[in-house]
């Protein structure tokens, strides 16, 4: 019973994320790649994403604080972030990266800082959501496994 409820919650969760635009098709692709051979594929990828992105965000913060600002580096970091987030399917994070790059090209420090805040916000949000998701799926999987 619980398992079913959990599973349902899991599905609802994911659906809401899709509907609200936090995740896109690419995430579905990742889910498809997960199978018995590779049961933790999605978790692995997503965890790696979180790690890398946190590092990038810290780096960005530091670079933007420095005087003068090394916009090339900022651009490189944002590019990385954009790439990763699009591979994951974190749509909103990816979308915020686009104006971020524009601000970089314009060498607009304030614009960059603004964008950075937005990216951090989106990132934190998606991280929380996905972590919840995994906990739920973990529990359901474990309970499934135990039932066998």
Residues 6+ apart with CB under 8 A from 64: 74, 109, 112, 113, 116
Distance CA 110, CA 128 (A): 27
Residue choice 14, 23, 74, 88 for contact with another protein (CB under 8 A): 88
Q: Is residue 30 a contact residue for another protein (CB under 8 A)?
A: yes
Query: Segment 97-126, which members bind another protein (CB under 8 A)?
Result: none
Considering the complex, what minimum distance in angstroms separates the CB of residue 8 from another protein? 27
For residue 40, give both structure tokens.
């933790």
The residue behind tokens 């098709």 is 25
Note whether 139 and 6 are within 8 A (CB).
yes
Span interacting with another protein, options 30-38, 62-70, 114-122, 123-131, rule CB under 8 A: 30-38
Span interacting with another protein, options 15-23, 77-85, 115-123, 131-139, rule CB under 8 A: 77-85
Note whether 23 and 86 are within 8 A (CB).
no
Q: Is residue 31 a contact residue for another protein (CB under 8 A)?
A: no
Span interacting with another protein, options 13-21, 81-89, 105-113, 117-125, rule CB under 8 A: 81-89
Which of 58, 56, 62 minimizes the C-alpha distance to 78?
56
Q: Which residues are paired to 23 by β-bridges?
A: 90
Q: Is residue 92 a contact residue for another protein (CB under 8 A)?
A: no
Residues that bind another protein (CB under 8 A): 25-26, 29-30, 32-33, 35, 38, 41, 44-45, 48-49, 52, 76, 79-80, 82-84, 86-89
């Amino acid at each position: 019973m619980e398992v079913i409820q959990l599973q349902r919650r899991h599905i609802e969760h994911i659906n809401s994320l899709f509907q609200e635009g936090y995740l896109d098709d690419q995430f579905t692709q990742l889910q498809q790649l997960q199978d018995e051979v590779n049961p933790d594929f999605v978790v692995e990828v997503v965890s790696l994403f979180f790690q890398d992105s946190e590092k990038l965000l810290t780096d960005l913060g530091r670079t933007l604080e420095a005087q003068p600002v090394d916009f090339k580096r900022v651009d490189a970091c944002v590019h990385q972030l954009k790439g990763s987030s699009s591979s994951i399917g974190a749509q909103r994070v990816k979308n915020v990266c686009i104006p971020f790059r524009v601000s970089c090209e314009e060498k607009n420090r304030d614009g960059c800082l603004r964008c950075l805040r937005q990216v951090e916000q989106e990132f934190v949000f998606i991280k929380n959501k996905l972590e919840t998701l995994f906990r739920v799926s973990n529990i359901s999987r474990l309970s499934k496994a135990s039932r066998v």
